[in-house]
Structure 1
Amino acid sequence: MNETFHQRGRRRVLLTGAAGNWGRATLRELRDRADRIDVVALALPGERDRAALAEFDDMPNLEVIWGDLTDAATVAACVARVDVVLHVGAVVSPLADECPELAHRVNVGSIRNIVEAVRALPDPASVAIVGIGSVAQTGSRNPPHHWGRIGDPIRVSQYDEYGQSKVVAERILVDSGLPKWVQLRQTGIFHPGMLEIRDPIMTHSPFGGVMEWASAEDSARLLANLCEADVPDEVWGGVFNIGGGDGWRLTNWELQTAIGRAMGVRDIRRWYDRDWFATRNFHGQWYADSDRLDELVPFRRDTFDDALARALAAAPASVRSAGRVPAWIVKHLVMKPLTRKPRGTMAAIRRGDEPEIAAHFGSRAEWEAIGDWSTFEAPSPSREPTLLDHGYDESKPAAEWSALDYLEVAAHRGGQMLSTEVVRGDLATPIGWACAFGHEFTASPRLVLTAGHWCPVCVTDAAGYPAQAEQNAFLAQVVAA
């Protein structure tokens, strides 16, 4: 570390999750800002993280703290030294699906520790928190419900404990009462490792689904820009979608075929049976509002073709030349066994797990009716944005929101506002609500109206969303997606 570390006037940043794909990309971006930004990276003291961070051994503006995000004392000590917290660290899928208790302990416990550490400072306004949510929080949004924005219903796919943990974490930050934070819901990050993923989670992604991707490099640039001193005031206290924009809005089928072409695969269909892939219950949207974040904190430079070319260049020779391998070998010796592993769609079919089959396909009968490739048509969903009804007058300035707006929102969701007194324009103070099923809870107007949250009990019952939608018109708009 150089002698100017923590020199007066320099920005000081705590980065969690530094050893991951996004974290390492962020370190590379911050290394290029060594003239003005110093970094404290909190990483686990294991072989994996040490190996991943070895490339930064000579980074002059970096100090690595070997510790655990779930250790409140370690987190507090790090937070006390910085101006900005970039909280990228999390247990993500597929590990989160395999170890749901670990996912909740880390993903929820870490943001709680960060919030409490900032709250305990003499001046909590001196530290900004950049929290990271996920597109998984809004779950399955297949066409024709594939356009989304912040404020749409929070609705997590079945068996997605990562998404559920991020819902809880977001509630903690948004309703923390802290003066300076922003919550960013990350979309799918396209990074070089994408070409090497071989996990049963691949089979959960419907061909007809969509995702507005973003590159790891653009995402890193966004985080680094949020560490600068000139971030617009509108950012703080907001919830935003991260997306790459129009050129990154792909169907899952387009992604599959693009990656296949890059590897020299002439016809990706020869690698799979059509009915191996789920038809629902994943996540992904095209965003009607992702341009706003780029307008406030410009970060987009990459095209999808740029990122794909980089990924291919970084891939091992076996990946780059995959198209030379006879398709029947890939299909029967690699892909088919993958679908039969735990969490694979065909594993559910083989063991007759009806709830899981229903989650992925609707029913066994619907799976049997999928057919082969002869009847397949490449999906072509509408590229014209459509917006859901959020249940209140969105042209009304938030500073004028009152009890009448909250009563309207609660009714749209089949519930009630329980508080008898609210302050006009107070977005941050939690008030009382009840859902249609009698669960009482508190949540700020910002969390409910701006971020789309509702009952914290009902959201955990993903299998029960259809029943909830019978009482909740807000949720009903996407419950069949």
Structure 2
Amino acid sequence: MSAPVLVTGAFGQVGKRVTELLLSRGQAVVATDLRTATALATAEELAVARPPGTLRTHFADLLDRDAVETLVVDHRPGTIIHLAAMFSPQSYRNPRSARRINVGGTENLVHAGRQLPAAPLLLFASSAAVYGSRNPHRHPERITAETPVAPIDQYGEDKVLAEGIITGSGLPHAFLRLGGVLSPDATAGINADHLVLIRATPGDNRLHGIDARDAALAFANAVDRRDSIDGKVLLIAGNDSYVRTHRDVEDSMFDAMGIGRLGPSASLPGDPADDRGWAFTGWFDTTESHALLDFQQHDWPETVAWVAAAQPRFLRAALRATGPLLRPAIRTALALQRRIEHRGPYAEPWSLIAARYGSQALAGGSGETGS
């Protein structure tokens, strides 16, 4: 029997779909996550489905080095898919906790993996955030695996530090740097902090999205392709139908929810003369990653339809009916909020983020360079 796959963050947006895919293929999966009501419900759903693979669920804290070592040594995974993290913008509120989880947790996992007699393949979920602010007027080319990392925020810096730990570990590994992951889960989980991040992002900022089902497929397929991906940086985003702007993606999601498109006036543009005036997303060259992992199975309209179908019918109908009133009200509220914040003609996202969360939300702001 093949060695099991250990999945951290196994019941999150991508994790639960990776776990489900592996189980459907008859794979034994050791699924670990923090114990929450959502994680418990997801674990129960997967168990009730009775897939051909074997699911072993362990709720563990990656900050507990002894517990992580016990988990890894007891199960001896052949592959570790490391998805667990504290994501932005939540991480902006708790940068020190985020660093302990994102960097220290990775360090504990690497330490445990190195105790095994047969080194496991470590597949790390990294992010477009490692590339920092991308001014499309000065960098019209797509991001490639060779594009230098230059994180501008704390979350991107965490990912770069974690990648460094893995690179230095000697373990076989691959970094799967994700674009903007889209699913019904993402729209349902939007809170006030996400709305700040959305407002901060220039409307004409490049955004390369990916359907969460395709992101999960990339990780699942990577499990059996150790020799061809070891040591690689793989850019994980959708096909060219997902090459869009922030304003277009946001409007498509608003439309899927029933509100309708807000239009260009809902966002401020980026400053063409300011390299720090853009968000940390760009368009990926996915030629190599797709050739190796064969994960781009959906088109943009399918993702939008998936999000729309997941909305409660009565709510979507109500939003559709009130949309003609809601849209101008939202646009007016956004304009008023910008005036109160004394924002100028350009988005200046990192000025807004720093004003809201403090300088610790930016790279170098925490005063820490490791776990």
Aligned length: 338
Among 150, 155, 162, which residue is 2:150 paired with? Answer: 155
The residue that corresponds to 1:26 in the other structure is: 18
Among 34, 46, 71, which residue is 1:44 paired with? Answer: 34
Distance 1:213 1:165, change over 3 A: same
SS of 1:182's partner is: strand
Distance 1:320 1:193 in 2: 20
Distance 1:309 1:183 in 2: 30
Task: Write the letter of the residue equivalent to 1:44.
Answer: L
Distance 2:331 2:100 in 1: 33
Task: Write the letter of the residue equivalent to 1:192.
Answer: P
Among 203, 206, 211, which residue is 1:210 paired with? Answer: 206
**What TM-score, normalized to structure 2?**
0.81
The residue that corresponds to 1:399 in the other structure is: none
Distance 2:305 2:56 in 1: 32
Among 93, 98, 112, which residue is 1:117 paired with? Answer: 112
CA contact (8 A) 2:247 2:263 kept: no
Distance 1:249 1:163, change over 3 A: same
The residue that corresponds to 2:177 in the other structure is: 185
**Aligned-pair distance for 1:353?**
9.5
- What are the residue-to-residue correspondences of 1:21-420 with 2, within 5 Å? 21-34=13-26, 37-58=27-48, 59-60=50-51, 61-80=54-73, 81=75, 82-123=77-118, 125=119, 127-144=120-137, 145-146=139-140, 147-157=142-152, 160-178=153-171, 180-196=172-188, 197-198=190-191, 199-228=195-224, 231=225, 233-265=227-259, 267-269=261-263, 273-275=266-268, 280-288=277-285, 290-317=286-313, 318-319=315-316, 321-329=318-326, 332=329, 336=333, 346=338, 350=340, 359-360=349-350
Distance 2:332 2:45 in 1: 33
Distance 2:14 2:316 in 1: 22
Task: Write the letter of the residue equivalent to 2:235.
Answer: N
Provide structure 1 residue ranges, at least 5 long, that are not aligned to the other structure.
1-8, 341-345, 363-458, 463-481
Distance 1:313 1:338 in 2: 31
Task: Write the letter of the residue equivalent to 2:121.
Answer: A
CA contact (8 A) 1:262 1:320 kept: no
Distance 1:291 1:117, change over 3 A: same
Distance 1:50 1:156, change over 3 A: same
**Aligned-pair distance for 1:107?**
0.5
Distance 1:316 1:237, change over 3 A: same
SS of 1:57's partner is: helix
Give me the identity figure in percent.
Answer: 26
CA contact (8 A) 2:252 2:261 kept: no
Distance 1:129 1:171 in 2: 13
**Aligned-pair distance for 1:326?**
4.3
CA contact (8 A) 1:204 1:281 kept: no
SS of 2:108's partner is: helix
Provide structure 2 residue ranges, at least 5 long, that are not aligned to the other structure.
272-276, 353-361, 366-371
Query: Are 1:12 and 2:4 an aligned pair?
Result: yes
Distance 1:16 1:274, change over 3 A: closer
CA contact (8 A) 2:279 2:349 kept: no
Distance 1:224 1:320, change over 3 A: farther
SS of 2:28's partner is: strand
Greater Cα radius of gyration, structure 1 or 2: 1
Task: Write the letter of the residue equivalent to 1:148.
Answer: I
**Aligned-pair distance for 1:273?**
4.3
**Aligned-pair distance for 1:263?**
4.2
Deviations 1:66-110 (A, max 9, x none): 111111122112222211100011111221122111211100011
The residue that corresponds to 2:369 in the other structure is: none
Distance 2:71 2:281 in 1: 34
**What TM-score, normalized to structure 1?**
0.64
Distance 1:319 1:335, change over 3 A: farther
Deviations 1:239-288 (A, max 9, x none): 11112121221112221333344345555139x6444x766331111122
Distance 1:54 1:190 in 2: 24
**Aligned-pair distance for 1:21?**
0.6
Distance 1:295 1:200 in 2: 36
Tell me: higher relative CO, structure 1 or 2? Use CA pairs within 8 A at least 6 residues apart: 2
Task: Write the letter of the residue equivalent to 1:14.
Answer: L
The residue that corresponds to 2:368 in the other structure is: none
Determine which structure has the larger helix proportion and give its number: 2
CA contact (8 A) 2:62 2:68 kept: yes
SS of 2:6's partner is: strand
